[in-house]
Structure 1
Amino acid sequence: MKKYFLKLYQYNAWANQRVLGCLERQHIEDEKILTLLGHIVAAQLLWLHRVKGLPPPPVKLWGIYTFDQLVAMADSAGKQWLDFVESTDDFDRELTYTNYTGDPFTNNVETIMIHLVNHSSYHRAQIAMLLRQNGFEPINTDFITYDRILRDQLKG
């Protein structure tokens, strides 16, 4: 599973960076778009802290963040998740935690990790739709595009 999670979380960090680059190039300041991106990276940090047994990070799941804050949060989340994957050998364990409203749950860490990347992809698609609706050009963050770029079949 380690190889799978390394590729998955390398992709996730790449996709977040592509969205940030797209927003920067087009000078996007739309609050809905920035809030969705903030939700993506805040969720990544919140889940990482849960999985590692740490106190919640100082982020709001639906907070308002500046572009610079989003860049820093995305960079931190990407690096921390990759560090976690690289330093962990057993992802097949149960985790009991409380969600952001205080409700208790138990889930498998592998399931959480797969969910988190799918959750991020879902909200990146919402960002792409909002960009297009507002007359901007979204960036392709499909996993197959990532793989094609890695294989030098496409330019990044």
Structure 2
Amino acid sequence: MKKYFLKLYQYNAWSNKRVLGTLQRQNVNDPKILSLMGHVVAAQFLWLHRIKGLPPPDVKLWGEYSLDQLLKLSEKAGKEWLEFVESNDNFDRQLTYTNYVGEPYTNNVEMIMVHLVNHSSYHRAQVAMLLRQKGFEPINTDFITYDRVITGQLKE
């Protein structure tokens, strides 16, 4: 599973960087778009802190973030997730936690890790739709595109 999670979280960091780079190049400052990307990044910190048994991070799940803040936070989240995956060999364990409204749950860490990348993809797709609706050009963040890029079959 470690090899799978390494690739999955490398993909996730690549996708976030790609979307944020697109926002930067097109000077997108739409509050809804930035809020969605802020939600993606905040969720990555929230879940990582839960899994590592740390106090909740100082992020807002639905906060207002500038593009500059998102670029820095996203890079940090991607780096911390990859460090976590690289430094662990077994993710098959149960985690009991409370969600952001205080409700208790128990889930398998592997399932949480898969969920988090799916969650990020879901919201990046919403960003792509909003970009197109507002006259901007979204960027492809499909997993197969990532695989083609890293295997040299496709230029970024």
TM-score using structure 1 length: 0.99
Distance in structure 2 (CA, Å) of the matches to 1:137 and 1:94: 41
Q: Please give the alpha-carbon distance, in whole angstroms, between the structure 2 residues aligned to 1:33 and 1:11.
A: 21
Q: Which segments of 5 or more consecutive residues in structure 2 lack a partner in the other structure?
A: none
The whole-number CA distance in structure 2 between the counterparts of 1:151 and 1:106 is 37
SS of the residue 1:105 aligns to:
strand
Q: Deviations over 1:44-96 (max 9, x none)?
A: 00000000000000001000001111011101100000000000011000000
Residue 60 of structure 1 is matched in structure 2 by 60
Amino acid at match of 2:131: L
> Which residue number in structure 1 is paired with residue 144 of structure 2?
144
Cα distance in 2, alignment partners of residues 143 and 46 from structure 1: 23
Name the counterpart of 1:5: 5
Write the letter of the residue equivalent to 2:115.
H
* Counterparts of 2:113 and 2:151, CA distance in 1: 25
Q: How far apart, in 2, do the equivalents of 1:133 and 1:25 lie?
A: 17
Query: What is the root-mean-square deviation of aligned Cα atoms in Å?
Result: 0.4
Corresponding residue for residue 133 of structure 1: 133
Point out 4+ residue stretches in structure 1 off by more than 4 angstroms: none
- Structure 1: how far apart are the matches of 2:9 and 2:83? 10
Quote how far apart the aligned CAs of 1:152 are. Answer: 1.2
- Of 64-73 and 78-87, deviating more is 64-73
Match of 1:22 in 2: 22
In the alignment, the residues of structure 2 paired with residue 132 and residue 153 of structure 1 have an alpha-carbon distance, to the nearest angstrom, of 27
Identity level (%):
74
The 3-state SS of whatever aligns with 1:17 is helix
TM-score normalised according to structure 2 size: 0.99
Query: What is the SS of the residue equivalent to 2:137?
Result: coil
CA distance in 1, matches of 2:72, 2:25: 17
